[in-house]
């Protein structure tokens, strides 16, 4: 055999050339899976090993699918930049009013320094990262809570190193001793390290609270209004305390908050209309215009302008004071009358209590050593009480953080279950499954007629007269009447009723079924007697 299909022809020079031409033609005409299928088919026909280039080509699609699966498994592979930017802007905006709080307290208390806004932002942003990553880990709740507390301690130490002890060398551990010495002096003095640590703990807890929440337009707008209220309260306190200047951080708060609100609005609008460069231009233009208007108003609405306005309205204030005094005068007179009326009762109660408490003579010498021993005992217990207080504070902080994380995890779990149920419902709705044929509803009386005729066939077959496979009821009727001549009328009646119900699809009544059942009982006895 020397034809094209013989084994000897496959290994000749001409056969190899033909296979190469077929391979080149196949690679030109096929793409993707069709090309791989053609190569595999040619390989099975030719029974020749593939070259390295052919193997590389065959496995390219498999490698592409594997790369896509690995890319999807990486959590930071696909990042929503607008969502991440909203989180960073939220952290920056809340860091502004948190820094204003700690700055106001520090100035009033006379602290030389407090935590910087950078340290607060680091704690807030890392708290958001921890709050989003920990619930994804497949571990027990207690393990994740302990991990959250450990992360909080490390992040707060990092923020204190960056935002409070920046003057120390990068590798110097001396700042730790200074921090713990001043931070743990709860019962001795109030230090800047303590208030800074409390603010950082508050920032971390708020970050855990916002980590799993969707930053919608309503949420960001509510936090913006909350920050305005806090700044307003701090401005009133600063007006009485003096020497507190956080105007720059008010402008930064407005810039970050308005930018976050704009991004949230863009995100909502992007669900119905496509996003383009116009959104960015409009967003930054409106932000700059808003800040410019606010800055211009601050040049006019100053304390001097407010004092001048109050001085201008001073006659009106004088009239209001006179009206208030006239309205409050009867109340003051009534209050004075009641006090004078109750003075004897108060004196009587005071005398009764003074008689109940024994008086200690001032010249008692034995009371002095007793008081000194109690004071020494209290001084001995002071270090232990401080340690117990520190441990209690740390336990309370850890419990609050763990409870916040547990609340976030429970919410994430409920949202996950709800999301899975919605996705499953949508996937089921998308699937087009062929519906099963709806069973035909049979009328009860017609079914009874069919059963009576089936019993007739069974009785005839038991007596040696079976119905043939291709025989109709009307063809079977002559043989029945010939075999059972005494029941010919009844057999004809049962057959006609069955044909009317089964073939003509006529409805049967209850009276017809009862009559047919009586006829069948009588016919059955007659058939038994005839067969015997």
Residue 465 forms part of a structural domain: yes
How far is residue 142's CA from residue 146's CA, in Å, rounded to a whole number?
A: 6
pLDDT value of residue 357: 59
Span 301-340, pLDDT tens digits:
766 777 777 778 888 878 888 888 888 888 888 888 888 8
Q: What does pTM read for this prediction?
A: 0.46
* CB contact burial 329-348 (16+ within 10 A = b; e otherwise): eeeeeeeeeeeeeeeeeeee
Residue 115 forms part of a structural domain: yes
209 with 129, same domain: the answer is yes
To the nearest whole number, what is the mean pLDDT of the chain?
A: 74
55 with 127, same domain: the answer is no
52 with 131, same domain: the answer is no
Residue 309 forms part of a structural domain: no
How far is residue 531's CA from residue 380's CA, in Å, rounded to a whole number?
A: 119
54 with 92, same domain: the answer is no
**Considering its fold, how many domains does the chain have in total?**
3
33 with 154, same domain: the answer is no
Residue 217's contacts (CB-CB under 8 Å, 6 or more residues apart) are 261, 264, 265, 268
pLDDT value of residue 168: 77
pLDDT value of residue 138: 80
Residue 216 forms part of a structural domain: yes
Residue 398 forms part of a structural domain: no
282 with 172, same domain: the answer is yes
Identify the DSSP state of 135.
G
How far is residue 114's CA from residue 198's CA, in Å, rounded to a whole number?
A: 11
Domain hosting 162: range is 81-300
Token pair in block for residue 300:
């006019």
Tell me which of 43 and 524 has the higher pLDDT: 524
173 with 114, same domain: the answer is yes
Alpha helices in 431-487 (DSSP H): 444-462, 473-483
pLDDT value of residue 39: 45
Burial environment of residue 233 by CB neighbours within 10 A (0 to 12, 13 to 18, 19 or more): middle
162 with 223, same domain: the answer is yes
How far is residue 419's CA from residue 413's CA, in Å, rounded to a whole number?
A: 10
- Contact between 203 and 97 under an 8 Å Cβ cutoff? The reply is no
Span 242-263, pLDDT tens digits:
677 788 888 888 888 888 888 8
26 with 86, same domain: the answer is no
Residue 390 forms part of a structural domain: no
Stated as kind and residue range, the H or E segment containing 113 is: none
pLDDT > 60? residue 97: yes
Residue at which a domain ends, from 249, 273, 300: 300
Assign 69 a pLDDT band (cuts: 50, 70, 90).
low
Least confident piece of the model among 105-119, 164-178, 377-391, 491-505: 377-391
pLDDT value of residue 273: 53
Token pair in block for residue 6:
């013989």
How far is residue 130's CA from residue 152's CA, in Å, rounded to a whole number?
A: 9
Least confident piece of the model among 44-48, 309-313, 391-395, 520-524: 44-48
pLDDT value of residue 364: 56
Q: Which of 8-17, 22-31, 123-132 has the highest mean pLDDT?
A: 123-132
Tell me which of 88 and 61 has the higher pLDDT: 88
Q: Which residue has the tokens 């009641």?
A: 338
Residue at which a domain ends, from 252, 282, 300: 300
pLDDT value of residue 498: 87
Assign 27 a pLDDT band (cuts: 50, 70, 90).
very low
């Amino acid at each position: 055999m020397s034809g094209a299909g013989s084994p000897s022809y496959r290994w000749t020079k001409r056969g190899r050339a033909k296979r190469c031409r077929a391979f080149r033609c196949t690679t030109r005409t096929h793409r993707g899976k069709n090309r791989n299928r053609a190569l595999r088919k040619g390989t099975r026909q030719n029974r020749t090993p593939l070259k390295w280039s052919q193997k590389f080509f065959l496995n390219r699609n498999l490698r592409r699918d594997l790369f896509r699966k690995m890319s999807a498994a990486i959590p930071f592979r696909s990042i929503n930049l607008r969502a991440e930017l909203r989180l960073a802007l939220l952290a920056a905006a809340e860091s502004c009013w948190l820094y204003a709080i700690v700055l106001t307290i520090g100035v009033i208390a006379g602290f030389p320094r407090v935590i910087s806004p950078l340290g607060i932002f680091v704690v807030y942003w890392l708290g958001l990262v921890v709050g989003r990553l920990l619930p994804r880990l497949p571990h027990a709740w207690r393990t994740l809570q302990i991990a959250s507390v450990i992360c909080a301690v490390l992040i707060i130490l990092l923020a204190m190193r960056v935002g409070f002890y920046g003057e120390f060398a990068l590798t110097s551990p001396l700042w730790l001793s200074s921090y713990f010495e001043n931070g743990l002096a709860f019962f001795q003095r109030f230090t800047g390290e303590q208030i800074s640590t409390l603010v950082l703990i508050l920032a971390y807890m708020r970050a855990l609270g916002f980590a799993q929440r969707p930053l919608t337009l309503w949420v960001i707008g509510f936090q913006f209004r909350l920050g305005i209220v806090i700044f307003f309260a701090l401005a009133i306190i600063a007006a009485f305390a003096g020497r507190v200047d956080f105007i720059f951080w008010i402008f930064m708060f407005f810039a970050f908050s308005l930018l976050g609100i704009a991004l949230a609005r863009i995100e909502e609008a992007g669900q119905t209309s496509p996003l383009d460069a116009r959104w960015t231009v409009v967003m930054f233009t409106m932000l700059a215009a808003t800040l410019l208007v606010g800055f211009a108003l601050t040049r006019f609405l100053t304390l001097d302008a407010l004092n001048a306005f109050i001085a201008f309205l001073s006659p009106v204030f004088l009239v209001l004071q006179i009206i208030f005094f006239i309205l409050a005068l009867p109340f003051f007179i009534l209050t004075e009358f009641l006090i004078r009326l109750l003075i004897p009762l108060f004196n009587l109660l005071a005398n009764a209590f003074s008689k109940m408490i024994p008086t200690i003579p001032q010249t008692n010498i034995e009371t002095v050593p007793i008081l000194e021993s109690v004071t020494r005992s209290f001084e001995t217990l002071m270090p232990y009480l401080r340690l117990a207080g520190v441990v209690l504070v740390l336990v309370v902080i850890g419990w609050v953080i763990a409870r916040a994380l547990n609340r976030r995890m429970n919410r994430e779990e409920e949202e996950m279950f709800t999301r899975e149920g919605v996705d499953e419902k949508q996937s089921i709705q998308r699937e087009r499954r062929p519906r099963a044929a709806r069973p035909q509803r049979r009328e009860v009386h017609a079914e009874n007629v069919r059963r009576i005729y089936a019993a007739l066939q069974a009785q005839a077959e038991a007596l040696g007269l079976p119905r043939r496979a291709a025989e109709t009821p009307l063809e079977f009727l002559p043989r029945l009447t010939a075999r059972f001549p005494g029941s010919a009328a009844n057999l004809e009646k049962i057959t006609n009723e069955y044909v009317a119900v089964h073939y003509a699809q006529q409805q049967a009544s209850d009276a017809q079924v009862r009559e047919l059942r009586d006829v069948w009982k009588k016919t059955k006895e007659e058939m038994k007697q005839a067969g015997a």
